[in-house]
């Protein structure tokens, strides 16, 4: 699913627009091994939950819909380099267990592939995801894929969340289907990022929008990354992890999915999707 490491992730106005090739439909088929199903239910922390770690221990620089990564060691506001990374990515899966630290075997950030390669690796899924999730829903088209690129770049520049991490979560949650269904597992999760009760969606209350407006695509990505009035986005989930190293991305992913990390510190423990953090790192 997620090209983080060599095996998979292995100022908005100043962000450059997507390369022209991004909106061209891919010619290669999607591998049969891809599971296009949408995870049911994220439990990212509520704004009012008394047990949110950041509420007690971290002074956040911004609140609803304006979160930013607070630790300079991992904040990345300049995401203009779309080619920084290691290799092209390999379509393989490694199950990571434990704390999310490099000492536990999780990938260092130096092993993540570039944003451009990662995005291109995922293009076939983006163009095919909606129809595979529901045959009645129109697939994401070229301009909408371009809007996903631009939305990630603008959101990363505003929040300090590495653009590759945003893309990894987006693909985990929706496979790039801009008309993905709104799900609920105790918390309403709409849009590309299946965020905490956000507003942005092109498929909500049985209303499907085609085309999905670029502004709505940006809103979906921003709500998942910078948070909503109801709950945290990726930036605060990273802040809540609080380690100041690459493990904050993997721990932050787990918090985004389940609302907290198990007392054991093992990212495969707790509610929701047990392999969520590993899927992001694979």
pLDDT tens digit string along 41-89?
555 666 533 333 332 333 333 344 689 999 999 999 999 999 998 866 5
- Is residue 16 very low, low, confident or very high in pLDDT (cuts 50, 70, 90)? low
- Asked if residues 224 and 190 have their Cβ atoms less than 8 Å apart, the reply is no
Residue 143 in this model has a pLDDT that exceeds 80: yes
202-213 pLDDT, tens digit each: 999 889 999 999
Domain boundaries, the chain: 1-8+93-282
In angstroms, the Cα distances linking 220 to 3, 70, 258, 280 are 21, 22, 20, 19
pLDDT at residue 103 in the model: 75
Confidence at residue 91, expressed as pLDDT on a 0 to 100 scale:
60
Question: Looking at domain 1-8+93-282, does it have CATH number 2.130.10?
Answer: no
Hey, which residues does 3 pair with through a beta bridge?
A: 9
Instruction: Yes or no: say if 30 and 128 are a contact pair by the CB < 8 Å rule.
Output: yes
Nearest-angstrom CA–CA distance, 1 and 177? 14
| Backbone φ and ψ of 218, nearest 5° | -60, -40
Q: What angle do helix axes 214-226 and 234-241 make, rounded to 10 degrees?
A: 20
């Amino acid at each position: 699913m997620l090209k983080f490491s060599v095996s998979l992730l292995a100022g908005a106005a100043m962000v450059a627009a997507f390369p022209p090739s991004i909106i061209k439909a891919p010619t290669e088929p999607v591998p049969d091994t891809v599971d296009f199903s949408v995870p049911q239910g994220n439990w990212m922390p509520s704004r009012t939950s008394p047990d949110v770690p950041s509420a007690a221990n971290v002074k956040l620089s911004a609140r609803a819909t304006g979160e930013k990564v607070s630790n300079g060691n991992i904040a990345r506001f300049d995401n203009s380099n779309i080619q920084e990374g290691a290799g092209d990515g390999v379509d393989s899966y490694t199950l990571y267990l434990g704390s999310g630290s490099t000492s536990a075997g999780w990938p260092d950030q130096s092993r993540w592939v570039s944003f451009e390669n990662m995005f291109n690796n995922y293009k076939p899924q983006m163009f095919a995801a909606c129809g595979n999730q529901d045959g009645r829903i129109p697939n994401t088209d070229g301009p909408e894929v371009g809007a996903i690129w631009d939305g990630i770049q603008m959101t990363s520049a505003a929040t300090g969340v590495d653009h590759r991490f945003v893309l990894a979560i987006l693909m985990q949650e929706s496979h790039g289907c801009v008309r993905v269904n709104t799900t609920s597992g105790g918390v309403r999760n709409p849009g590309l990022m299946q965020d905490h009760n956000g507003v942005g969606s092109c498929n909500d209350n049985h209303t499907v929008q085609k085309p999905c407006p670029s502004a709505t695509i940006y809103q979906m990505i921003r709500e998942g990354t910078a948070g909503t009035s109801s709950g945290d986005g990726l930036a605060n989930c990273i802040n809540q992890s609080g380690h100041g190293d690459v493990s904050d991305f993997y721990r932050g992913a787990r918090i985004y999915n389940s609302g907290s990390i198990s007392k054991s510190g093992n990212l495969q423990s707790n509610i929701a999707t047990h392999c969520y953090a590993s899927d992001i790192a694979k």
